[in-house]
Chains A and B, each alone.
Chain A
Amino acid sequence: MKISIVTPFGKIFEGEIKEATFPGVEGEFGVLEGHAPLITNLKPGVITLKKTNGKEEVIAVNWGYVEVTPDHINVLADGAVPVVGSSESEIAQAIEKAKQLIRDASDSDALVATVTSKIESAARNL
């Protein structure tokens, strides 16, 4: 299924994926192909994308809005930081930026801690 993640500062991700997990306001949820149409808001957290080649990509968002249809997903986010990079220093930088984004967006320490640990564990798998 197709997914596109856009912010006011440009397109973050667009492409074919197998599975996506979102931090919805009412809890985390996963989307596979053929999902029933759904719209919901996102809270600060991470979007995990499983790409068609089996690799995972993690994107931190501070606020978002998701529209799911059976064959595509639209995500509108205020700020989004993909945790990717070709070298270790780049990845470290991305992690720092992602953490900052979440910290700015959320006032709950518990949430920040959970999300931060998720970002770090995802980064380890890169």
Chain B
Amino acid sequence: MATLKELKTKINSVKNTQKTTRAMKLVSTAKLKRAEEALLLSREYAKKIEEVTSEISSKLSSVKESINLRAFAKIDEVKKVDLIVVTADKGLCGGFNHQTIKTTLKKIEELKAKNIKIRLIVVGKKAIEYFKFAEIEMYDAIEGLTSAPNYEKAAELINKSYNDFVNEEIDNIIIIYNGYVNKLTQKIHVKELLPIEVKEEVNTNEFLEVEPTDDYESVLESLVKKYIEYIMYYTLLDSLAGEHSARMQAMDAATNNAQEMVHQLTLQFNKARQEAVTRELIEIVTAMEAMKKK
């Protein structure tokens, strides 16, 4: 049985932890709100750019025989892919990071079984730490980007991969991340970016002018580049919102657990105190009885 003093220290320490977790939850709630807003704003653009890309590629494919861009070509044999894994820089958010890592490991196995070589690009400190520990080779590791998504940096990162894709060094880009669904759920996304699918359009006779004249490829190429850059940026935003919602949940659970623990410990403390009181009483009474007999 723990002494009264020990119990008291324990209760205090749990209470302190609870204070921290509660504060962290509040911080995450505030940050989530901001991340959510950014996500909503950019969803508009995501919708538009997807719409426009598919519309234009289908129009062009109807005007021209084939689109002379690797992003639209069908690749028969995939030999090497870029695997981009996005996790948070910080922990304390439940299974958020680990889920992503687990999915990545599965994907790696899957690709290896097909004899596909992998270049692992890791964004986020948590995943970097894991892969270092597991001694899995990383092609590139980026820290600090997931906690502060930045369009330019995201573009720089994905453009390296995209350029390699255009130069036929790799054959696909796969992004794995844990995204935001709502305040209580996150969802793992595994996105294969390339090739971009061309939808066959029904009305094929439509006239379409392209400027610079007859240079469909350059127009489309810049669009595809934007499209891919954008997906990367969106991934970061989505992941950040997911991270905050996961942390909010984890910290909420931790606060509740701490509450429960304080309750249990207080019960124990009261019991111990009562015991001590009873024991003292017995001692006094016995002493008195002993004195009476004399």
B contact residues, range: 20 to 34
**With A40-B219, A65-B52, A67-B52 as contacts: A8 and B45 at CB distance below 8 Å:** yes
Which chain B residues lie closer than 8 Å to A26 at the CB level? 211-213
Inter-chain contact A36/B48, CB cutoff 8 Å: no
Is A106 on the interface with B (CB-CB < 8 A)?
Answer: no
Q: Which of B210, B213, B218, B230 contacts A8 (CB 8 A)?
A: B230
Inter-chain contact B211/A65, CB cutoff 8 Å: no
Is B56 on the interface with A (CB-CB < 8 A)?
Answer: yes
Within 8 A of A (CB), among B38-93: 38, 41-42, 44-45, 48-49, 51-52, 55-56, 59
Residue of A nearest to B234 (CB): A8
Within 8 A of A (CB), among B191-222: 206-213, 218-219, 222
The distance in angstroms between the C-alpha atoms of A36 and B207, with both chains bound, is 8
Within 8 A of B (CB), among A43-80: 65, 67, 74, 76, 78
Within 8 A of A (CB), among B221-266: 222-223, 226, 230, 233-234
Inter-chain contact A7/B45, CB cutoff 8 Å: yes
Q: Which of B55, B151, B234 contacts A67 (CB 8 A)?
A: B55
Looking at the assembled complex, report how far the CB atom of B54 sits from the nearest CB atom of chain A, in whole angstroms: 12
Is A1 on the interface with B (CB-CB < 8 A)?
Answer: no
Inter-chain contact A39/B219, CB cutoff 8 Å: yes
- Scan A4-43; emit 1 where CB is below 8 A from any B CB, else 0: 1011111100000000000011100000000011111100
A contact residues, range: 20 to 34
Q: Which of B44, B218, B222 contacts A10 (CB 8 A)?
A: B44
Inter-chain contact B226/A39, CB cutoff 8 Å: no
Looking at the assembled complex, report how far the CB atom of B199 sits from the nearest CB atom of chain A, in whole angstroms: 16
The distance in angstroms between the C-alpha atoms of A26 and B214, with both chains bound, is 13
Inter-chain contact B55/A25, CB cutoff 8 Å: no
Which chain A residues lie closer than 8 Å to B233 at the CB level? 8
The distance in angstroms between the C-alpha atoms of A65 and B221, with both chains bound, is 12
Q: Which of B42, B211, B219 contacts A9 (CB 8 A)?
A: B42
24 intermolecular pairs with C-beta atoms under 8 Å apart:
A6-B44, A8-B45, A9-B42, A10-B41, A10-B42, A10-B45, A24-B211, A36-B207, A36-B209, A37-B206, A39-B208, A39-B209, A39-B211, A39-B219, A40-B219, A41-B218, A41-B219, A41-B222, A65-B223, A65-B226, A67-B52, A76-B48, A76-B49, A78-B226
A24-B211, A39-B208 are known contacts; what are 8 more A-B pairs with Cβ within 8 Å? A6-B44, A10-B45, A11-B44, A39-B56, A39-B219, A40-B212, A76-B45, A76-B226
